[in-house]
């Protein structure tokens, strides 16, 4: 019973802290670009503001358009529940299969793309088409990374994989280096960050994710934006806990959980700084260059798998 309570609590923590991470990233970015930074709590204020506003629906909106925010938010929360944040081996991790995780993310993307086309505006359709192109290229990379991990840990269970990396101690695996780099590039593409998409702009010609959700307002928009923030955090936690799992709680004692919470907070803050540095250094690329970017990510994950076969299992 306490295990279930902890699992629910952890998911709640995940969902509630995602805007804080977004605020942190925004703040670091402002500092790096010599701008005055907004408060860390600004994303919460934005969300509250959006929840208070009325939702405006287009006349021709079907049930798909109306239900998409809830489906996306629900799928994202379920994904968040599977990812080990503070501790491994909580009750939800029986279903914490990585392929299920990829499936949930695909479900959310599918419905967002449908909703983008539902109203029939030009921007929505354009955004959906671009999003599906990026998705179709990013998903194989994600799966290849997952398979590299699964071949090493002999399981596709996230919790099991984290425990495997924990128990084998410090091992310099070439395959993990490539898989981590590939996963980072996919994370950048999937969460719509620079250089694939710019989350801070509504420039018509370049937007991808923003174009799909252009027609949303009020609580619908709040839910979708919140889900976007959770998705970013999911990728961060995946990178942090799979490749650098040290500090995560393996036993459910208060002391271990506290250490786990501090460890993950530190790792996420650090990853945020890495992302901001990357975004500040890189320029947004043309949409037609994105396949090349993701092709390189695919190559990285493929190299991860190849080096696993060649270097780590042979002999």
Site of interaction with another protein (CB under 8 A): 168-175, 177-178, 291-292, 295-296, 299, 302-303, 306-307, 309-315
Contact 96, 158 (CB under 8 A): yes
CB of 173 to another protein, least distance (A): 7
Q: How many residues does the chain have?
A: 315
CB of 303 to another protein, least distance (A): 6
CB of 158 to another protein, least distance (A): 20
Provide the b/e sequence for 125-156 (b: ≥16 CB within 10 Å): bbbbbbbeebbebbbebbbbbbbbbbbbbebb
DSSP state of 89: S
Rank residues 125 and 291 by Cβ distance to another protein and give the closer one.
291
Rank residues 8 and 151 by Cβ distance to another protein and give the closer one.
151
Rank residues 160 and 174 by Cβ distance to another protein and give the closer one.
174
CB of 311 to another protein, least distance (A): 5
Contact 140, 184 (CB under 8 A): no
Output the six-digit token pair for 25: 């990233």
Rank residues 20 and 302 by Cβ distance to another protein and give the closer one.
302
DSSP state of 195: T
CB atoms < 10 A from the CB of 64, how many? 14
CB of 292 to another protein, least distance (A): 6
Rank residues 122 and 170 by Cβ distance to another protein and give the closer one.
170
CB of 295 to another protein, least distance (A): 4
Give the helix ranges, DSSP H, for 119-205.
122-153, 158-167, 174-190
Contact 241, 14 (CB under 8 A): no
Task: Name the 3-class secondary structure at 39.
Answer: coil
CB of 209 to another protein, least distance (A): 24
Rank residues 70 and 278 by Cβ distance to another protein and give the closer one.
278
Contact 300, 180 (CB under 8 A): no
CA dist list (Å): 246 to 86, 157, 164, 237, 262 = 11, 18, 12, 13, 11
Rank residues 99 and 309 by Cβ distance to another protein and give the closer one.
309
């Amino acid at each position: 019973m306490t295990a279930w309570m902890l699992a629910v609590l952890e998911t709640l923590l995940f969902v509630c802290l995602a805007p804080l991470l977004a605020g942190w990233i925004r703040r670091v970015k402002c500092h790096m670009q010599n701008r005055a930074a907004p408060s860390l709590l600004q994303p919460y204020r934005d969300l509250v503001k959006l929840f208070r506003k009325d939702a405006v629906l287009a006349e021709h909106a079907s049930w798909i358009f109306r239900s998409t925010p809830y489906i996306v938010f629900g799928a994202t929360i379920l994904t968040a529940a599977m990812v080990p944040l503070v501790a491994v081996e909580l009750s939800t991790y029986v279903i914490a299969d990585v392929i299920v995780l990829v499936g949930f993310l695909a479900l959310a993307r599918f419905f967002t793309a449908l909703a983008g086309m539902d109203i029939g505006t030009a921007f929505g359709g354009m955004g959906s088409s671009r999003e599906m192109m990026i998705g179709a290229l990013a998903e194989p990379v994600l799966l290849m990374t997952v398979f590299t991990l699964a071949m090493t840990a002999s399981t596709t269970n996230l919790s099991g994989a984290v425990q495997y990396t924990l128990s084998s101690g410090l091992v310099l695996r070439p395959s993990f280096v490539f898989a981590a780099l590939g996963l980072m590039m996919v994370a950048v593409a999937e969460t719509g960050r620079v250089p694939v998409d710019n989350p801070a702009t509504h420039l018509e010609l370049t937007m991808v994710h923003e174009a799909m959700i252009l027609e949303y307002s009020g609580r619908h928009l709040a839910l979708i934006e919140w889900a976007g923030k959770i998705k970013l955090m999911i990728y961060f936690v995946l990178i942090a806990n799979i490749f650098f799992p040290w500090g995560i709680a393996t036993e459910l004692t208060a002391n271990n959980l506290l250490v786990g919470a501090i460890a993950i907070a530190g790792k996420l803050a650090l990853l945020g700084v890495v992302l901001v540095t990357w975004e500040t250094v890189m320029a947004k690329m043309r949409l037609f260059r994105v396949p090349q970017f993701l092709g390189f990510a695919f190559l990285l994950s493929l190299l991860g798998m190849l080096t696993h076969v060649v270097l780590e299992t042979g002999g």
